[in-house]
Amino acid sequence: MSRLILVERTPGPAWSVVTSTRPIASLRFGADTLSDRIARWSGADCDGALLRGALEGFEEEGSIRGVSAPPAAGSGGTLFWNSRAVPSVGTPRPEFGERPAVIEIDGRYAGLWLPPGRPLPPSAGDLPDGRSPADRPGLTADDGDVPVRRVDGVWLDGPWDLIAHNRRFLAADLEAFHGLGTDGTPTHHRYEGNPGVWVERHHPIWVEDDVDIGPGVVIDAREGPIKLDQGVRVSGPARLVGPLHLAWDSWILGGSVATSSIGPVCKVHGEVSDSVLLGWSNKAHAGHLGHALLGRWVNLGAHTSNSDLRNDYGSVKVQIDGERVDTGITKLGCMIGDHVKTGIGTLLPTGAMVGAGTQIATGGFTSASVPPLCWVTADGTVPYRFDRFRTAMHAAMARRYVVPSDGMVEIFRRLHAEVHGGSGADGRSTGADRADAPRPHGEA
């Protein structure tokens, strides 16, 4: 069996809102994570991802593991693949032989195949990074012209691309799903309806046997398939619109939930459309979330809403490293990192980017670009003392019977030091403790 190593040493600053605390490969895209969908396409066992040093120690149940150094090609050969290059659903994997090969998506360097026994390129920088075909890896001289294999797919150059392409890939994933395990045993069945549930079907509706759909629910599969995994609960009045995937143990508390990838273990209420919720996050109250990306362990307070369309219908610009970047997308909401919490009535502007670990309690519009691990109130923005963040992190995860690994806590500690210069990392005095500093609302 060949093996797969994902590569994301240089994801670029556009990804920092989510990749400051997690690999791109761990993100949901369609009905699966990027790592799982690439592994399924390649037919190889995924051994892990080559990550930036800032993610050393990343550890999360159900997510890809980090690999510190490129391993030599295994006995079955190794495919190195860029996490941001996504093969289209149904596109065949190229046949690989006894020679190294370069794989391209849309004219860019997406993958490198090394047959058994082949040494690595002279530099890890020669592994797939999305460069042009002219910058192929420096292999040994006796390789001559390295063959190029071309694959249909898309590049995710920023988190907004994941949002823009998610609906199409989700629909294709669910249309290709047949509800059978590898041994032919049914894993899901086609939903035929419950008393008090209205069903409109032009596409399949797949549910696990233990899914609980209450009265007053409309399931609308006219525009795309719907798949509800084990432990999902839907309470009426609610409307589900396909294509839609609710991963295990997620709970829809009411409202309209459409064309999104949600879960696992999310609570959702209100109006949600064209969004990706990575898991263990709550939007349990009224409010609009559209064309948005939420990291893990996010909690949105009641009536938190985001804008996803400019008043002039122009393409949305986001702020990255102090510069305005045109995404080329007209519908784009918020992009929020892990462990972010918003207070009631928070309003997020079009294309807002909120860094991991930040708490927002403005009670109105917030900035379109919020750094990680900050307290944001109507009085201003101050560093979030790390000891207090760590306590809140443990408390939030304990509510789902999860304990953060030491590696994950250390990732946030390093991020705090990077953003705030190390001050307050262990509860020492920071600007947040000065008598004249703005006090975070609700802080103990």
The SS3 of residue 281 is: coil
Q: Which residue has the tokens 């190794």?
A: 78
CB 320 within 8 A of CB 339: no
Neighbours of 97 (CB within 10 A): 11
- Cβ atoms of 196 and 178 closer than 8 Å: no
HSE-CB of 149 using CA atoms within 13 angstroms: 19
Amino acid 171: pLDDT: 97
Would you say 83 and 130 are in contact if contact means Cβ atoms under 8 Å apart? no
Cis peptide before 243 (omega within 30 of 0): yes
Structure tokens at 76: 């079955």
pLDDT at 146: 77
The pair of structure tokens assigned to 277 is 């919720």
Query: Over the stretch 126-166, which tens digit does the pLDDT of each residue have?
Result: 788 887 756 555 565 455 577 889 999 999 999 999 999 99
pLDDT given at position 173: 96
Residue showing tokens 């990392």:
425
Query: What's the pLDDT score for residue 91?
Result: 94
Instruction: Judge whether 49 and 83 are in contact, CB under 8 Å.
Output: yes
Which one-letter DSSP state was computed for residue 431? G
Helix, strand, or coil (residue 285): coil
**Nearest-angstrom CA–CA distance, 287 and 307:** 11
Residues of the chain with pLDDT under 70: 1, 69-74, 122-125, 133-144, 422-444
- Quote the pLDDT of residue 247: 97
In a 10 Å sphere around its CB, with 0-12 CB exposed, 13-18 middle and 19+ buried, how is residue 47 labelled?
middle
Alpha helices in 229-332 (DSSP H): none
Name, in order, each residue with C-beta under 8 angstroms of 178's C-beta and a sequence gap of 6 or more: none
**Under 8 Å between Cβ of 87 and 104:** no
The whole-angstrom distance between residue 201's C-alpha and the CA centroid of its chain comes to 29
Q: What is the CATH number of domain 3-156?
A: 3.90.550
pLDDT at 98: 84
Give SS3 for 208.
coil
Q: For residue 54, what pLDDT is reported? A: 86
For position 172, what pLDDT does the model report?
96
Interacting residues of 187 by C-beta distance below 8 A, sequence separation 6+: 179, 180, 181, 208
Confirm if 110 and 91 have CB atoms less than 8 A apart.
no
Cβ 42 vs Cβ 81: under 8 Å: yes
The crossing angle, in degrees rounded to 10, of helices 386-398 and 406-420 is 150
Would you say 85 and 108 are in contact if contact means Cβ atoms under 8 Å apart?
yes
**Largest Cα span, the chain:** 70
**Cα gap 241→222, rounded to integer Å:** 8
- CA 444 from chain center: how many Å? 32
Give the three-class secondary structure for 73. Answer: coil
